[in-house]
């Protein structure tokens, strides 16, 4: 499996940018998924549990083939006994194929936005400056004539489609999110729910098959050797162990199969059912039992919205604000910059490395784990401010940026805002917004 390796941080990104341009989507993936065969298979972060599930299926079937099916092959006329071995092997292979198709494919991940959508409302709670644009947390859409609320996902920076939810384990928004199954190590969504149900139902049939033919083996021993049922059971301990094992397992996978049959017939997901989503209101997706089953089993699976092997392009991105709003400045950078662990650099034309001194220098030695060194020289802004403005600069407090470094923005006390707006070069200091003086070049 493939996990994105940590990269060394560096400001010299000439060679790194050339490498980043050839990176593919799965190498810069922001979710918690792991990939196999260069992005051809996608798994959840708990994909190791898949090996445990495969062992719990293959181990008892192997015991059944060696100690039970092999003996039953000679106990049926016309060589029909060989079908006992063939059927169990085919059942097992189908069960494992459904398991891999559930676990190793895109469950319906909604691609993240590079920047938030355009805001539709303003936050007038700011004391100073222009109001900050904010995004509504909830929107209402019509689905089959019924009003459905959709929420804004701050992680993926998008409004989730109806029936979509964000999985906290995989860190992705998944269409028609059902649940995250730890036994298959993957989310269950619109693109793999069909295979998940086939995996669960085939596991149930496999347990019933093994359970039934183990009893057939015991009955054959009773008839051939004229023994009681207890003596026959002790004569074949493998059959006894498999009967106990399959009896316990069938309650789990069988109960899960019955539960999902109910969900399919009512067109619900596990997530919606556990939250009692349609207990007091109409289910807009329920179209009747027959149509509900057709929707799951007789409709084409939608194609994946992600091209995991596509090369990552360079584009503009907006940094989201922690409180739900966002700053209005565009920051030019590769999508892969943050994923590669690269430190953010200024792309503003009014700034260059020669103009920044002290803790604002691009030299990594000036960073003290997001704390300023008291011995470091203060930034030399005397060319832009007069003597009176030095007192204003003394009150400036550096603000922590969203990636843990110091940014070029300071919190200003309200009493010095009027003074700060009148000193210095207006072309170099601008953008007073909500009590912040931001060093942003226009």
Q: Is 24 helix (H, G, I), strand (E, B) or coil?
A: strand
Looking up tokens 């936050």, which residue turns up? 123
Q: Is 235 helix (H, G, I), strand (E, B) or coil?
A: helix
Count CB atoms within 10 A of the CB of residue 436.
16
Task: For residue 351, give Cα distances in angstroms to 4, 357, 358, 394, 431.
Answer: 33, 12, 15, 22, 15
Give yes or no for a contact between 99 and 53, defined as CB atoms under 8 angstroms apart: yes
User: For the sheet containing 406-411, what is the strand order?
Assistant: 397-400, 406-411, 436-438, 432-433
Distance from C-alpha of 416 to C-alpha of 82, rounded to nearest angstrom: 91
Annotated catalytic residue within 156, 167, 173, 181: 181
Give yes or no for a contact between 435 and 412, defined as CB atoms under 8 angstroms apart: yes
Give yes or no for a contact between 74 and 242, defined as CB atoms under 8 angstroms apart: no
Instruction: Quote the crossing angle between the two packed helices 193-225 and 82-103, to the nearest 10°.
Output: 160
Strands 186-188 and 179-181, how do they pair?
antiparallel
Q: Kindly report the backbone phi and psi dihedral angles of residue 370, in degrees, each rounded to the nearest multiple of 5, phi listed first.
A: 65, 20
Looking up tokens 């000193």, which residue turns up? 423
Q: How many CA atoms lie within 13 A of 442 on its CB side?
A: 9
Strands 146-153 and 138-143, how do they pair?
antiparallel
Active site residue 181: yes
- Token digits for 5? 């390796």
Residue 430: DSSP 8-state: -
Count CB atoms within 10 A of the CB of residue 374.
6
Candidates 232, 255, 227, 259; CA nearest to 243 is 232
Looking up tokens 């990552």, which residue turns up? 312
CA R_g for the chain: 31
Q: Which residues are catalytic?
A: 181
């Amino acid at each position: 499996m493939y996990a994105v390796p940590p990269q060394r941080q560096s400001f010299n990104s000439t060679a790194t940018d050339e490498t980043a341009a050839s990176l593919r989507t799965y190498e810069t993936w922001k979710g918690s998924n792991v990939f196999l065969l260069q992005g051809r298979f996608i798994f959840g972060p708990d994909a190791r549990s898949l090996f445990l599930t495969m062992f719990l299926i293959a181990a008892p079937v192997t015991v059944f083939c060696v100690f039970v099916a092999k003996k039953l092959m000679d106990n049926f006329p016309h060589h029909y006994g060989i079908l006992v071995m063939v059927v169990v092997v085919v059942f097992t292979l189908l069960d494992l194929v459904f398991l891999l198709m559930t676990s190793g494919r895109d469950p319906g991940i909604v691609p993240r936005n590079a920047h938030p959508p355009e805001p539709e409302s303003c936050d007038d709670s700011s004391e100073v400056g222009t109001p900050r644009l904010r995004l509504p947390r909830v929107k209402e859409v019509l689905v089959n004539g019924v009003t459905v609320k959709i929420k804004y996902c701050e992680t993926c920076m998008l409004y989730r489609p109806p029936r979509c939810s964000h999985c906290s384990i995989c860190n992705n928004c998944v269409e028609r999110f059902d649940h995250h199954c730890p036994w298959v190590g993957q989310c269950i969504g619109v693109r793999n729910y069909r295979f998940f149900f086939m995996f669960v139902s085939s596991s149930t049939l496999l347990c019933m098959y093994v359970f039934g033919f183990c009893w057939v083996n015991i009955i054959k021993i009773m008839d051939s050797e004229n023994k009681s049922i207890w003596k026959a059971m002790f004569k074949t301990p493998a059959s006894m162990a498999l009967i106990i094992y399959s009896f316990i397992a069938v309650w789990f996978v069988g109960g899960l199969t019955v539960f999902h049959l109910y969900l399919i017939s009512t067109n619900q997901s596990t997530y919606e059912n556990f939250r009692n989503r349609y207990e007091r209101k109409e289910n807009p997706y329920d179209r009747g039992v027959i149509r509900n089953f057709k929707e799951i089993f007789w409709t084409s699976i939608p194609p994946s919205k992600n091209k995991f092997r596509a090369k990552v392009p360079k584009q503009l991105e907006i940094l989201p604000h922690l409180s739900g709003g966002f700053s209005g400045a565009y920051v030019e950078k590769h999508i892969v910059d943050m994923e590669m662990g690269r430190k953010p650099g200024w792309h503003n034309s009014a700034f260059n490395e020669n103009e920044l001194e002290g803790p604002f220098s691009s030299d990594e030695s000036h960073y003290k784990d997001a704390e300023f060194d008291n011995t470091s020289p203060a930034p030399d802004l005397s060319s832009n401010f007069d003597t009176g403005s030095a007192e204003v600069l003394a009150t400036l407090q550096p603000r922590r940026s969203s990636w843990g470094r110091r940014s070029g923005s300071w919190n200003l006390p309200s009493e010095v805002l009027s003074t700060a707006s009148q000193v210095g070069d207006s072309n170099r200091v601008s953008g007073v917004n909500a009590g912040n003086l931001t060093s942003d070049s226009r």
